[in-house]
């Protein structure tokens, strides 16, 4: 029970593509995990399995002890999820949208009001609260998505590319926020940016073609590069691990 998030033996295929091919993930409370991998490695699919949007072909997911397949409502209550691209209803304002989510998550009265104030504050959304989401810049849209994930103060956060498309200042802000939240929450975030992992994650997991190819601290990742590599050492490890693995991705017919 010490693991807040426990995903065991996850498999998911789309037709002949094995998007997730035997992923195990055990994350204790207070750990920030950086989920790395090239495009198409299966990061988003793994997150969709963890959050219950997709059902795995095999394997199980437990969030704070609640099984996603057996007790989906209980398991989903523990999760705050930012899907890839931060989707939201374009015709609603940020205020309307977050109020809707608060209501559906059973936050009522003064609790709802406080929750909304808290997330508006955390991601600095105040100025655009009454603007339709479709008119917001990419950075603000992403913040609306992060606010939606934090609204019910969940113990587990699953963030799919939370800093994608943000400018350097916004990235910096989001990283600080994640570092703060990571003190007490369990966070899994996917990213392409390796410095981000060094900056905020206590643990890095690299997946390639649906399989975990590295699992350790950023320091351990760094140590995998030979001393002759002077700069961009994490890049070097990432490239080596995700380009030399040439196992076939197709299921033989």
List of residues 6+ apart from 84 with CB closer than 8 A:
44, 47, 160, 161
User: What H or E segment, with its residue span, contains residue 126?
Assistant: none
Q: Is 42 in the site for ligand ADP (CB under 6 A)?
A: yes
Contact set for other proteins, span 65-94 (CB under 8 A)? 72-74, 76-77, 79, 81, 83-85, 87-92
Q: Quick one: which of 54, 2, 5, 53 has its CA closest to 25?
A: 5
Q: Is 41 in the site for ligand ADP (CB under 6 A)?
A: yes
Choose among ligand ADP, Mg ion, other proteins, none what residue 39 binds, the Cβ cut-off being 5 to 8 Å by kind.
Answer: ligand ADP
117/235 with CB nearer ligand ADP: 235
In the stretch 173-212, what mask flags binding to other proteins with x, by CB under 8 A?
A: ----------------------------------------
Q: How far is CA 204 from the centre of its chain?
A: 13
Q: Is 105 in the site for other proteins (CB under 8 A)?
A: yes
Q: How many residues sit in the footprint of ligand ADP (CB under 6 A)?
A: 11
DSSP string, 40-62: TSSHHHHHHHHTTSS--SEEEEE
Q: Quick one: which of 27, 10, 20 has its CA closest to 43?
A: 20
Q: Is 40 in the site for ligand ADP (CB under 6 A)?
A: yes
Give the interface with ligand ADP as residue ranges (CB under 6 A).
14, 17, 19, 37, 39-45
């Amino acid at each position: 029970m010490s693991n807040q998030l426990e995903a065991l033996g996850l498999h998911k295929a789309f037709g002949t593509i094995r998007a997730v091919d035997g992923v195990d993930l055990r994350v204790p409370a207070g750990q920030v995990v950086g989920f790395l991998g090239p495009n198409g490695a299966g990061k988003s699919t793994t997150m969709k399995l963890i959050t219950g949007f997709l059902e795995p072909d095999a394997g199980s997911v437990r969030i704070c002890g609640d099984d996603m397949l057996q007790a989906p409502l209980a398991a989903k209550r523990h999760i705050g999820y930012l899907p890839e691209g931060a989707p939201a209803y374009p015709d609603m304002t940020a205020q309307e949208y977050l109020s809707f989510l608060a209501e559906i998550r059973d936050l009522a009265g003064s609790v709802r009001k406080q929750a909304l104030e808290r997330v508006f504050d955390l991601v600095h959304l105040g100025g655009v609260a009454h603007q339709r989401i479709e008119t917001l810049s990419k950075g603000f849209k992403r913040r609306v998505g992060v606010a939606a994930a934090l609204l019910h103060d969940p113990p587990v956060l699953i963030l799919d590319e939370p800093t994608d498309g943000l400018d350097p200042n916004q990235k910096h802000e989001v990283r600080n926020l994640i570092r703060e939240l990571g003190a007490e929450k369990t966070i899994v975030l996917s990213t392409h940016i390796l410095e981000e992992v060094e900056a905020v994650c206590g643990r890095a997991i690299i997946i390639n073609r649906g399989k975990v190819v590295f699992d350790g601290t950023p320091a351990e990742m760094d140590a995998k590069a030979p001393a002759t590599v002077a700069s961009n050492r994490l890049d070097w490890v990432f490239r080596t691990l995700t380009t030399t693995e040439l196992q076939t991705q197709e299921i033989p017919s």
